[in-house]
Amino acid sequence: MKAGTLTFIDLFCGCGGLSLGFEKEGFNSMLANDIDKNSIDTFLHNRPGIDRNKVICDDIAKVLETKKNDLLDVDCTLVVGGPPCQGFSMANRQRLIDDPRNRLYKKFIEAVELINPKFILMENVKGMLRAAPQVLSDFEKIGYYAEHIILNVRDYGIPQNRERIFFIGTNIKKTPAENLDVIRRIISRIKCSQKSSEIPLQDALWGLRRLEAKTIKNDTGIESEKFGFTKDNIFYNEPVPEYILEINNDRIPKIVYNHKTRYNNERDIKIYDLLPQGGKSDHKAIQHIMPYKSRKHIFKDKFYKLIPTEPCKTITSHMKFDCHMYIHPFQSRGLTPREAARIQGFPDNYEFKGAFTQWYMQIGNSVPPLLAGVLANAIIKAGVENKTLSVLT
């Protein structure tokens, strides 16, 4: 089902999780854009053969202005992206489409209208569901008919509870009903790709060096067998889980990147040690040293020790501040960036660039590549079925 003439543009590409999934299914990147330099450095580093002129680190508004004529002339299969929309956060009660923080969503609409791809795919936080009718209406105003779907990555062989909303649209047919039929076929294929069983967190933790939390403050650059390395070996102590093979293209990994711990004070390390798996801030085992017990009704999830036999809780960019909600189930520390990347489904040779805390941010903001691959495959198959992607027939 793969073909070299399938093309896509990734707006708000981040470190490249969404792109990675589409690339593996045969899509060729025409353009990628993000405003964050560290994310772009990671994107480029892991694609050494890509045309660097097609990966742009700048504000989307400037890209649309300076590249307008170029974008008008492209023949693009798909435009994808996850515009940051803080106004739709589940923690925010005011989730309005005209919230000024959501201007980037409007820029995504503007880009789609300019590029005129065959298909569109927009990812966002589940909180955007409330604004879904407005989003669908905005797409329709520029000639695209779309549907939305809430997906949890745990249903697709990824060891994590992570719900996100996806808007999928097209303008390839003559009537709205025909276009919506194509989209519903894509969504049907996505649903049919669900796995029959969940992957536990412990599968994602396989083969990584046992580490301790750093006790030296303000020294993220320190590397050792005790605290980890930017580049390290894999340790084979048991059969390789199928999940590890899947995220590493059916190869047994030998090298892993970004497996390092962060600084924690003595009190936090003690809390990590005392909490049982599944325990959180209100657990009796830590009440004598719990720093937030006077506000435990607010901070009841401030600390949480993960359960190895279940999918992990949602990996988020908040991990750049601390990993109290992501305590390793067997070791008295928070998850490392590599462990978070494993849970997101990145291959072990995907190296994250920039400052240590930025590794967490990039990983937390990503679309899991395995799920992106499911979406890409569904679009390809539906396109073939409807003779839209005739190049594949």
85 is annotated as an active-site residue: yes
- 87 and 231 assigned to the same domain: no
Residue 27 lies in a domain: yes
Residue percentage of the chain with pLDDT more than 90: 78
Q: How many domains does the chain have?
A: 2
- 342 and 372 assigned to the same domain: no
- 97 and 227 assigned to the same domain: no
* Average pLDDT of the residues in 86-105: 59
pLDDT in tens, 130-173: 889 999 999 999 999 999 999 999 999 999 999 999 999 999 99
pLDDT, residue 264, reads 95
Res 4 pLDDT > 80: no
Residue 2 lies in a domain: no
pLDDT in tens, 44-95: 999 999 999 999 999 999 999 988 888 887 889 999 999 986 655 544 444 4
CATH number at 18 reads 3.40.50.150
pLDDT in tens, 283-304: 999 999 988 766 655 556 789 9
- 164 and 178 assigned to the same domain: yes
Res 192 pLDDT > 80: yes
pLDDT, residue 2, reads 43
- 85 and 19 assigned to the same domain: yes
* Average pLDDT of the residues in 327-347: 98
- 320 and 376 assigned to the same domain: no
* Average pLDDT of the residues in 336-349: 98
- 242 and 206 assigned to the same domain: yes
Please spell the DSSP secondary structure of 317-358, one letter per residue: GGGGT--TTSB-SSSSSBPPHHHHHHHHT--TT----SSHHH
CA 154 to chain centre: 13
Average pLDDT, the chain: 90
Percent composition of the chain: helix, strand, coil (DSSP 3-state, to 5):
40, 15, 45
Which residue segment(s) compose the domain that 245 sits in?
201-364
* Average pLDDT of the residues in 312-330: 96
* Average pLDDT of the residues in 350-373: 97
Res 389 pLDDT > 90: no
- 33 and 173 assigned to the same domain: yes
- 341 and 226 assigned to the same domain: yes
Residue 284 lies in a domain: yes
Residue percentage of the chain with pLDDT more than 70: 90
Cα separation, 69 vs 251, in Å, equals 43
pLDDT, residue 216, reads 86
* Average pLDDT of the residues in 361-379: 97
Res 342 pLDDT > 60: yes
Please spell the DSSP secondary structure of 227-284, one letter per residue: TEEEEEE----SPPPHHHHHHTTT----EEEEEE--B--HHHHHHHHHSPTT-BTT-G
pLDDT, residue 235, reads 87
Active-site residue, from 13, 15, 76, 85: 85
Which positions ≥6 away from 62 have C-beta within 8 Å? none
* Average pLDDT of the residues in 208-226: 91
Res 262 pLDDT > 80: yes
Residue 1 lies in a domain: no
* Average pLDDT of the residues in 226-244: 92
β-strand pairing of 78-81 with 119-125: parallel
* Average pLDDT of the residues in 344-370: 97
Res 210 pLDDT > 80: yes
CATH number at 304 reads 3.90.120.10
pLDDT, residue 91, reads 46
Please state, in angstroms and as integers, the Cα–Cα distance from residue 348 to each residue in 56, 160, 162, 256, following that order: 25, 17, 21, 5
